[in-house]
Amino acid sequence: MDGAGPTGVILTAAYMLMMIQRVFYGSLGLKSAAVTAPDLDAREHLALWPVVAVMLVMGVASPYWMRAIDEVGTRIAQQHESIESTAPPAEATTSNVHAAEGGHR
């Protein structure tokens, strides 16, 4: 019974790989093979190329973006640490506080 877990993982991975192969690399079929797909029109190029340009600039100039992200991330982490340090201890639940006040639950 010890081999059931790994066997299940291996069979699941094999099934997923076969499914991906059939979905992405399978035949198109008769109907879709007869229909030609048009290339991008001018409107789609107009929407696509600015996004490509921004992605390229962000990839080439990544140190500038990373510095901006690092400063903000550091500030958020410091705020989170200060909030955690002022929070009450984890043992002080509402039932403990209610019992300390003389109430019964």
Q: Is residue 19 part of a domain?
A: yes
51 contacts: CB under 8 Å, gap ≥ 6: none
10 — pLDDT class (breaks 50, 70, 90): very high
Q: Is residue 8 part of a domain?
A: yes
Q: Is residue 66 part of a domain?
A: yes
**Domain count along the chain:** 1
Rounded Cα distance, 82 and 61, in Å: 33
Range of the domain at 81: 4-31+40-100
**pLDDT over threshold 70, residue 52:** yes
Q: Is residue 105 part of a domain?
A: no
Provide the greatest CA pair distance for the chain: 81
pLDDT over 70 percentage in the chain: 75
Q: Is residue 58 part of a domain?
A: yes
| 3-class DSSP state of 86 | helix
